[in-house]
Amino acid sequence: MSELRKRRRSDGRARTYRNARRIGWLFSVLVTIAVLCLVFFIWLAPLGIVDQSMAPALNSGEVVLCDRISKFVRVPERGDIVLFSTDDGLFIKRIVGLPGESVEIVSGHVFINSIPLDESSYSVNYVGDLSPVLVPEGSVFVLGDNREEMYDSRVASVGCIPFDHIEGILRLRVSPFSRITYFS
């Protein structure tokens, strides 16, 4: 009889340990799913590029990750590619002018406070002129790299973008695989 009790006791312990392992595995899967949801729905939002306004930096059909938390950690800087909202929707452009600066475009070349902007780190199409615009405090002046497509701060309906309209800063191009790029 004692042999039968020992066997039942060891079978019960084995069943308990198996159930504990299953619960541990299920907990690990749930934590992994929660972390992935946090990363991809709150912190890094995947976006598909649908136009050529940022070409050649970003082309139609590419997928990028937009960092939606960093705007609370640091103020976006000149050269950052940002996602912002207007009454017409969400757009992606590069910050050119900062608060308190005067932005002017002469023969397609950007001047900040009458000093030419060095845009050698990214390729742009130089098009058009713009008389000086003073960027108000708490806002930025944005331009697309493909200056022929003109839905940016040069358009009166867009104008300078307030910081609270900036949804995030682009951090990573993830598709196509051959063009994976980290935007600092």
Is a pLDDT exceeding 90 seen at residue 37?
Answer: no
Residues 47-65, buried b or exposed e (16+ Cβ, 10 A)? Answer: bebeeebbbebbeeebebb
Is a pLDDT exceeding 80 seen at residue 57?
Answer: yes
Q: What is the mean pLDDT of residues 109-127?
A: 82
CA 73 to chain centre: 14
- Residues 81 and 79: their CA atoms lie apart, in Å, by 6
- Residues 182 and 184: their CA atoms lie apart, in Å, by 6
Residue scoring higher pLDDT (136 or 129): 136
Is a pLDDT exceeding 60 seen at residue 113?
Answer: yes
| pLDDT confidence of residue 168 | 92
Judge contact between 170 and 84, C-beta under 8 A. no
Residue scoring higher pLDDT (39 or 21): 21
| Candidate list 53, 71, 139, 153, residue with the active-site label | 53
- Residues 87 and 156: their CA atoms lie apart, in Å, by 13
Q: What is the mean pLDDT of residues 125-138?
A: 87
121 given a catalytic annotation:
no
Is a pLDDT exceeding 60 seen at residue 3?
Answer: yes
β-strands 81-86, 130-134 pairing: unpaired
pTM of the predicted structure, to 2 decimals:
0.78
| pLDDT confidence of residue 123 | 67
Identify the three-state secondary structure at position 105.
strand
Stretch among 85-89, 126-130, 131-135 having the lowest mean pLDDT:
126-130
Share the mean pLDDT of the chain.
86
Q: What is the mean pLDDT of residues 135-157?
A: 89
| pLDDT confidence of residue 135 | 96
Stretch among 16-25, 36-45, 53-62, 152-161 having the lowest mean pLDDT:
36-45
10 given a catalytic annotation:
no
| Candidate list 71, 93, 139, 153, residue with the active-site label | 93
User: What separation, in Å, do the N-terminal and C-terminal C-alpha atoms of the chain show?
Assistant: 73
Q: Residue 42 — very low, low, confident or very high, per pLDDT cuts 50/70/90?
A: confident
